[in-house]
Structure 1
């Protein structure tokens, strides 16, 4: 028996790996976050599969389902939105499974920030403009941010920032980033990336908060901040340069 942690992708049902889809099809139990995971993925479950929406469950209740499956000797597909390596709450589940000696593995998925960049038709690492991407969030109702990982500190690098779980605090984002990035720094907000109802906002730190409020965006959005969003003049990468030796 194995618990398969599977990245379900950012929203579009066909943005799941072939491995992830096949594991769902082979698992008699499927746990999924109903508010975030596309329900069409459940069509891949085998006939008679036990399908459990974890949106209203706490960690103990989720573990109880995994333990029951382990005792019955049946595999579990544990679906997490996006890629489970980022902001998925997978770590505490794996820690419990380690203590119980229940086997598990992890299948990566398309992360929300990658889907947002695709929708924006932007590379996040543009030569001589931005080569560093910081994935972060804000402290609020969730767990506190570690020391030194506040936006004011991270912003001193002027690297491209990708913020998850922060659109409800857009005014705070703007306030903390303007001192390092400047009021005219380019910003994009992508809500529900890759879904049929995807919404893209483009602006600067000066006007993005007003745009977010006007659009009524309050969740399921990625904020991207950085010079790469407006980059038009930059050198070609060395990868395909005619000056690079070949062979």
Structure 2
């Protein structure tokens, strides 16, 4: 018998793609769930292999919000364990607030289970750190305005003024415009850029270049979705050792 609350819906971050990069709690929820509503092709279908044979798995790509909420509510009201399997880490572009508000109208609560974001999976594919001593100590996570607008103060041009590490979601389709905005904002044309398509998936693809040539490489590779744009000198050769393991550094901070 599981110890999960069947009166609530569990929103679970599915991780970046590799089915082993789901959290243990997420795995246990999938293993015990009666109903799983997963986010279409953005979810690695191998994750559904963790579900029991009697579980009902539904692809939400073919459902609108009202249908999703109805299915969740019917499951909870029937005493079933309901899991909403979201992409990556649901705290980034997860769209759970609107679902939670609709559930609340029906008197149903929810719990969130953190996942591993694709920006972390992308860094692991490249073997890099976003924070490099004396090079970059900050990371900006953002997206280019599209059907979902961004606040004026959060434009790519504005963020580019900092010239720090940047992970840009949901924008590779407009890579040419992204490059123009980043250079207008202040990044030099020789700033390193990496495109990571489907980070940690078996068919992951990596493109490396600079702001001067990355748009052409993306076009030639035919990448137009499911990819992260990573920008900044953290991708370059400059590096300074951390003081963390310096012989004279107190071990209290390790």
TM-score between the two structures when normalised by the length of structure 1: 0.96
**Candidates 227, 232, 245, aligned match of 1:240:** 245
> Is 1:114 aligned with 2:120?
yes
Q: Would you say how many aligned residue pairs link Structure 1 and Structure 2? A: 245
Partner of 1:143: 148
> Is 1:164 aligned with 2:169?
yes
Query: 1 CA distance for matches of 2:97 and 2:68?
Result: 13
- Residue deviations 1:215-238 (CA, integer Å, cap 9, x gap): 00011000000011004331x223
- Residue deviations 1:30-76 (CA, integer Å, cap 9, x gap): 00012111111111112221111001211111111111112112111
Three-state SS of the structure 2 residue aligned to 1:55 is helix
- Aligned-residue RMSD, C-alpha: 1.2
- Residue deviations 1:175-233 (CA, integer Å, cap 9, x gap): 00113111000000000111111110000000000000000001100000001100433
Query: 2 CA distance for matches of 1:148 and 1:44?
Result: 43
Alpha-carbon contact 1:185-1:204 (below 8 Å) kept: yes
TM-score between the two structures when normalised by the length of structure 2: 0.93
Partner of 2:21: 15
Partner of 1:223: 229
Give unmatched runs, 5+ long, in structure 2: 1-5
Give unmatched runs, 5+ long, in structure 1: none
> Is 1:154 aligned with 2:156?
no
